[in-house]
């Protein structure tokens, strides 16, 4: 692919978008425009001499300005249902208007809902009531509508994206494992853990941009390892050089999850509506500080019902289509990916 093409990355202040911007620049793509929602999001990508513009996807004027003059759009921005759906519509509309040569829309394997077994791109998308998955389905439908209007685009459906800078799948789970309260969930963590290292996803994006055969197609993006969630916890624990994980019985896991669910709900409500009062009380009361630290620790180390459902789902997202059409081959297995992630945790002093 020619490195002088002009590329807009939306959601460049986020985990995936930030990685894409950095990787493109380091690979010689010097005409990268990073679209961010607010200037405070630019701290990470601001290290590079690239163009950074405001691009709140809900602001049509900002979107139009960001897309103008570009050859390619890599659309990573998402958020609430409105941001994901209406924001995607704004990006697609501006891309069609400015005759973008190629658009890559980052979706998710969550569009397959609760499908199990070998899941390839022929499996129909499935509404489940989840705001994230359902809004991504709506965004995909918009993409197909604009493809019919003449916009050349490709949809990528990544699985669990992990690696350095990942707060959800690396920082959060490192904290859980270090707490000593996390473990192997007997009979409840045997579902498939579909992981793709961030750099492999970026490679998939570049391959899809470089392939004419990718236009009008959707591709699963997944890593090469087929492991369970319990395997992931164990391998991550070993990479952190922590004591062996305890085996947690289903009764204990379900009981803890059932107990913490209403507490989590109540905590979110109280913080949303009474944050100032709680902050004042917290500063003045040592007892409240101790209680809140205990509750916070339990909340962090107790999997929720949605997590338990995910940990048990036996679905594997096939990448055969991406392999045959794009020539996609994951370069990072779980051992290499976790080793890189642990080095980042050390660098960021996120290990106890």
Q: What is the DSSP string of 250-274?
A: HHHHHHHHHHHHHHHHHHHHHHHHH
Mean pLDDT of 73-102: 97
Which pLDDT value is given to residue 6?
97
Which pLDDT value is given to residue 287?
56
Residue 288 pLDDT greater than 80, yes or no: no
pLDDT (tens digit per residue) in 302-332: 788 889 999 999 999 999 999 999 999 999 9
pLDDT mean across residues, the chain = 90
d(CA 204, CA 158): 10
- % pLDDT > 70, the chain: 86
Mean pLDDT of 130-134: 96
Residue 278 pLDDT greater than 90, yes or no: no
Which pLDDT value is given to residue 53?
98
Q: What is the CA radius of gyration of the chain?
A: 21
Q: Where are the domains of the chain?
A: 7-166+194-231+313-333
Which pLDDT value is given to residue 142?
98
Between 4-13, 279-288, 323-332, the lowest mean confidence (pLDDT) is in 279-288
Compute the half-sphere exposure of residue 339: CA atoms within 13 Å on the CB side of its CA: 5
pLDDT (tens digit per residue) in 24-39: 999 999 899 999 999 9
Residue 117 pLDDT greater than 70, yes or no: yes
Band the pLDDT of 256: cuts 50, 70, 90. Answer: low
d(CA 108, CA 118): 16
Band the pLDDT of 280: cuts 50, 70, 90. Answer: low
Residue 248: count other Cβ atoms within 10 Å of its Cβ: 18
Q: How far is CA 169 from CA 17, 117, 166, 257, in A?
A: 16, 23, 6, 19
DSSP three-state, residue 129: coil
Residue 295 pLDDT greater than 50, yes or no: no
- % pLDDT > 90, the chain: 81
Mean pLDDT of 271-275: 59
Q: Give me the phi and psi of 11, to 5 degrees please.
A: 65, 30
Mean pLDDT of 99-119: 97
> In terms of Cα–Cα distance, which of 32, 85, 39, 31 is closest to 62?
39
Residues 137-169: b if buried by 16+ CB within 10 A, e if exposed: bbbbebbeebbeeebbbbbbbbbbbbbbbbeeb
d(CA 16, CA 118): 26
Q: Give me the phi and psi of 3, to 5 degrees please.
A: -85, 0
Compute the half-sphere exposure of residue 272: CA atoms within 13 Å on the CB side of its CA: 6
Contact 112/220 with Cβ under 8 angstroms? no
Mean pLDDT of 53-79: 98
Contact 33/21 with Cβ under 8 angstroms? no
Mean pLDDT of 244-268: 66
Residue 266 pLDDT greater than 60, yes or no: no
Which pLDDT value is given to residue 249?
86
Pinpoint the alpha helices (H) of 56-151. 60-67, 81-97, 131-148
Which pLDDT value is given to residue 304?
84
Residue 161 pLDDT greater than 70, yes or no: yes
Tell me the fold of 7-166+194-231+313-333. Rossmann fold (3.40.50)
Residue 245 pLDDT greater than 50, yes or no: yes
More confident residue, 288 or 172: 172
d(CA 63, CA 98): 11
d(CA 55, CA 10): 7
d(CA 237, CA 192): 18
pLDDT (tens digit per residue) in 185-216: 999 999 999 999 999 999 999 999 999 999 99
Which pLDDT value is given to residue 250?
77
């Amino acid at each position: 692919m020619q490195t002088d093409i002009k590329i807009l990355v939306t959601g460049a202040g986020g985990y995936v978008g930030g990685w894409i911007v950095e990787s493109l620049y380091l690979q010689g793509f010097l005409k990268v425009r990073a679209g961010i929602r607010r200037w405070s999001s630019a701290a990470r990508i601001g290290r590079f001499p690239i163009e950074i513009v405001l691009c709140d996807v809900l602001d049509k004027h900002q979107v139009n300005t960001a897309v103008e003059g570009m050859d390619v759009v890599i659309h990573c921005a998402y958020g609430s249902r409105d941001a994901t759906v209406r924001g995607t519509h704004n990006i697609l509309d501006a891309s069609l208007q400015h005759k973008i040569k190629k658009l890559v829309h980052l979706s998710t394997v969550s569009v397959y809902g609760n499908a199990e077994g070998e899941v390839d791109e022929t499996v129909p998308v499935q509404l489940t009531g989840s705001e994230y998955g359902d809004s991504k389905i709506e965004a995909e439908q918009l993409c197909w509508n604009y493809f019919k209007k003449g916009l050349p685009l490709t949809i990528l459906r990544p699985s669990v994206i992990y690696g350095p800078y990942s707060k959800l799948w690396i920082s959060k789970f490192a904290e859980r494992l270090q707490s000593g309260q996390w473990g192997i969930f007997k009979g409840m963590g045997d579902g498939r853990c579909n992981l793709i290292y961030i750099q492999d996803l970026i490679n998939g994006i570049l391959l899809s941009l470089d392939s004419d055969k990718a236009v009008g197609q959707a591709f699963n993006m997944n890593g090469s390892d087929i492991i369970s969630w319990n395997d992931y916890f164990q391998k991550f624990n070993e990479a952190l050089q922590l004591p062996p994980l305890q085996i947690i019985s289903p009764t204990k896991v379900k009981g803890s999850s059932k107990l913490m669910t209403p507490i989590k709900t109540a905590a979110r409500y109280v913080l949303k509506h009474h944050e100032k009062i709680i902050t004042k009380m917290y500063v003045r009361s040592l007892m409240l500080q101790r209680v809140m630290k205990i509750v916070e620790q339990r909340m962090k180390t107790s999997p929720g019902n949605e997590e338990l459902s995910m940990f048990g789902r036996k679905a594997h997202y096939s990448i055969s289509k991406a392999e045959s059409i794009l020539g996609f081959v994951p370069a990072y297995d779980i051992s290499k990916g976790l080793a890189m992630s642990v080095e980042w945790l050390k660098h960021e002093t996120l290990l106890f």
